[in-house]
């Protein structure tokens, strides 16, 4: 299904009935990443999956897609569907978008799960890496995507889940260059939103991979120590929906239950 938005369209899926649960994919992914989870999650809930700006079947609307701009697009879909509050699960970049929405319109975000994601801003090294990647991708898109994507999986997972890895890589390679650059720049510009996360009224959940080279479990543990944020660790890397599917499914079902 699609929603018209700023002379473009946003693609989404809508399954089940009940309290709203919104699933947001990460960078170089699409709403298809959730396909194996929807049947279980939608048994007692209305599950909305959205292709974020410049990904999947959703258009680019500029050359910088800030997390705030992506949250605006997400909100347009929720308004179209008359959803006034939702439990939101965001994978990686999807978590950054969910935090931006929670800052813009706290009442919409009933509970929030950051999955293989963080409330932290990029440090200077990471910002420099993103800026360099955005230059390199203009002339060497496929190699850059392949290299970026390889870092998302624990080393052994690339072989253990070879078919799923290759399928996810194919989807990543379909991302338009403009979508890559716009999202990467948006992530580079995002602020630290720990205080936003702490103010979410319902459940606050972090799901992290012990072998994730992009996110420091140790840092996030220390920063959330004296808060009501629950931190759950899974055994593998950044792609828990592939590498730890069964354990993740259990955690997500617990998160959305009353």
User: According to the model, what pLDDT value does residue 149 have?
Assistant: 86
Q: Which CATH architecture has domain 2-256?
A: 3-Layer(aba) Sandwich (3.40)
Whether residue 70 is predicted with pLDDT greater than 90 in this model: the reply is: yes
* Domain spans, the chain: 2-256
Write out pLDDT tens, residues 109-129: 999 999 999 999 999 999 999
Whether residue 131 is predicted with pLDDT greater than 90 in this model: the reply is: yes
Q: What is the mean pLDDT of the chain?
A: 96
- Outline where the chain has alpha helix (H): 38-41, 67-80, 93-104, 124-136, 141-150, 157-160, 162-173, 177-189, 194-198, 217-224, 240-243, 245-256
User: According to the model, what pLDDT value does residue 153 have?
Assistant: 87
pLDDT mean over 37-61: 98
In the numeric block, which tokens belong to residue 4? 């018209």
**What percentage of the chain carries pLDDT values higher than 70?**
100
Pairing label, strands 46-50, 8-15: antiparallel
Write out pLDDT tens, residues 80-108: 999 999 999 999 999 999 999 999 999 99
Helix (H, G, I), strand (E, B) or coil at 239: coil
152 backbone dihedrals φ, ψ, rounded to 5°: -80, -20
């Amino acid at each position: 299904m699609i929603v018209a938005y700023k002379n473009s369209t946003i693609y989404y899926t809508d399954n089940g009935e009940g309290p709203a649960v919104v699933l947001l994919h990460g960078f170089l992914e699409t709403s298809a990443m959730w396909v194996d989870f929807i049947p279980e999650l939608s048994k007692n809930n209305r599950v909305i999956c959205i292709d974020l700006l410049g990904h999947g079947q959703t258009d680019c609307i500029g050359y910088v897609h800030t997390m705030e701009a992506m949250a605006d697009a997400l909100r347009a879909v929720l308004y179209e569907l008359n959803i006034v509050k939702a439990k939101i699960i965001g994978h990686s970049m999807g978590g950054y978008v969910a935090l931006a929405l929670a800052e813009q319109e706290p009442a919409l975000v009933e509970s929030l799960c950051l999955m293989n994601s963080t409330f932290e801003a990029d440090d200077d090294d990471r910002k420099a890496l993103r800026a360099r990647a955005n230059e390199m991708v203009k002339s060497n898109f496929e190699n850059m995507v392949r290299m970026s994507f390889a870092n998302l999986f624990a080393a052994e997972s690339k072989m253990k889940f070879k078919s799923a890895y290759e399928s996810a890589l194919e989807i990543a390679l379909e991302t338009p260059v403009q979508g890559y650059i716009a999202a990467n720049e948006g992530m580079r510009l995002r602020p630290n939103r720990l205080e936003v996360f702490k103010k979410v009224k319902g459940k606050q959940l972090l799901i992290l991979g012990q072998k994730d080279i992009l996110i420091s479990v140790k840092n996030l543990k220390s920063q959330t120590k004296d808060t009501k944020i629950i931190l759950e660790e899974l055994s593998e890397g950044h792609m828990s929906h592939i590498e730890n599917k069964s354990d993740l499914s259990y955690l997500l079902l617990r998160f959305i239950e009353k």
